[in-house]
Structure 1
Amino acid sequence: MGRKSRFTADEKLKYINICIRGEDSITHTAKLVGVSKSTLERWIRNYESLGIYGLNNTSKNTVYSIDVKNMAVKDYLDGKGSLSDICKKYRIRSHRQLRDWILKYNSHEELKSSGMGGIPIMTKGRKTTYEERVDIVKYCIEHQKNYAETAKHFQVSYQQAYSWVTKYEKDGVESL
């Protein structure tokens, strides 16, 4: 059974324009309409990135390519923008979708192209020696703390690289 919204695209656009033109705040408009502030913010974000199409009710999940998923996750992890910024850039309809991809990436699961299989973009974390951890930290710092690149280069998880650099900066090389 398809999803059903209480509001048409035209109704959503009316409320969005009230906020965009500054006639009322997002919080107050959301309260008057009977939706959460985050819902109205999502409508605005979708309208700004997808146009009127972003306000249409969808009966199916949006399909994203593996490339879009990988680029969006990597941009976010590399600090190239907030969740909202990345969602707008890659025309992703929901923060939740991007967060799910990031969680999958960070828990070493494969990101797949929607419904079509895919390739792993990250290996599982692995045991390392003290010397390897020192090399990994040095490499990461030399590469402007690009944890994603470091993780890929050494085939460790993003969290491992981040954790070791953080420990190193806090307590020195002995903490590794």
Structure 2
Amino acid sequence: MERKVKYNYEFKLRCVQEVLRKHRSVNSVAYENSIASSNLNRWIRFYIEFGNEGLLPRHKNKNYSVNFKLKVIQAIENKSISLSKACLIFNIPRESTITSWQRKYGIEGITGLQLKPKGRPSSMNFKKRKQRKTDKPLTREEELLKELEYLRAENEILKKFNALVQAEQAKQNKRLKP
């Protein structure tokens, strides 16, 4: 499933060409097309650096290696380059991506740059006994234990049902008595 692209390639190219070829101001083109001038500036920078490919939609949630992240952070610190310039050099879509790397690196060090598992854990811990996965027939004792577990669960369900019925009857009695 691809992400929804807010501005298509043709729209971006038309806006960039209005600024570069028709020598119109960034603000006037942005205002006329109802876009943020910062977006248009970013499109222009990527168009100048990468050509038409700079305006193509990028993959969202791309995973970068720890070494790559560290290389970007060190380049910014050592060479004193801006975030926008680093985005151009390393072909990173947003400055906020680098900012989050810097924040995590400042707090946790290199471990903060490692990929974290996302979503629910693949295996959950069950307190109940695990199901048998062997083809061996159950021993008589195991069969009895399994039946006992089933009967206890059935008994609990019946007790809860009985309690609900009694509560409903008590409610009915209260309504009938003045």
**Shorter-normalised TM range:** 0.5 to 0.7
Question: Partner of 2:93 in structure 1?
Answer: 93
Return the alpha-carbon distance in structure 1 between the equivalents of residues 39 and 12 of structure 2: 10
* 1:112 aligned partner, one-letter code: Q
Secondary structure in 2 matching 1:107:
helix
**4 and 103 in structure 1: CA distance in 2 versus 1, 3 angstrom threshold:** same
Structure 2 unaligned blocks of 5 or more:
118-178
Percentage of identical aligned residues: 28
Give the drift of 1:90. 0.8
Structure 1 unaligned blocks of 5 or more:
116-176
Give the drift of 1:78. 2.4
* 2:101 aligned partner, one-letter code: W
* 1:74 aligned partner, one-letter code: Q
TM-score by structure 2 length?
0.55
Return the alpha-carbon distance in structure 2 between the equivalents of residues 41 and 114 of structure 1: 33
Question: Partner of 1:35 in structure 2?
Answer: 35
* 1:75 aligned partner, one-letter code: A
Question: Partner of 2:148 in structure 1?
Answer: none
Question: Partner of 1:23 in structure 2?
Answer: 23
Alpha carbons 2:58, 2:93 under 8 Å: kept: no
**22 and 69 in structure 1: CA distance in 2 versus 1, 3 angstrom threshold:** farther
Secondary structure in 1 matching 2:87:
helix
* 2:7 aligned partner, one-letter code: F
Secondary structure in 2 matching 1:97:
helix
* 1:7 aligned partner, one-letter code: Y
Q: Looking at CA atoms only, which structure, 1 or 2, has the larger radius of gyration?
A: 2
Give the drift of 1:37. 1.1
* 1:101 aligned partner, one-letter code: W
Higher relative contact order (CA 8 A, sep 6+): 1
For residues 160-171 of structure 1, the aligned pairs below 5 Å read none
Segments ≥4 residues shifted beyond 3 Å: 48-51
TM-score by structure 1 length?
0.56
Alpha carbons 2:87, 2:93 under 8 Å: kept: yes
**52 and 61 in structure 1: CA distance in 2 versus 1, 3 angstrom threshold:** farther
Return the alpha-carbon distance in structure 1 between the equivalents of residues 58 and 116 of structure 2: 16
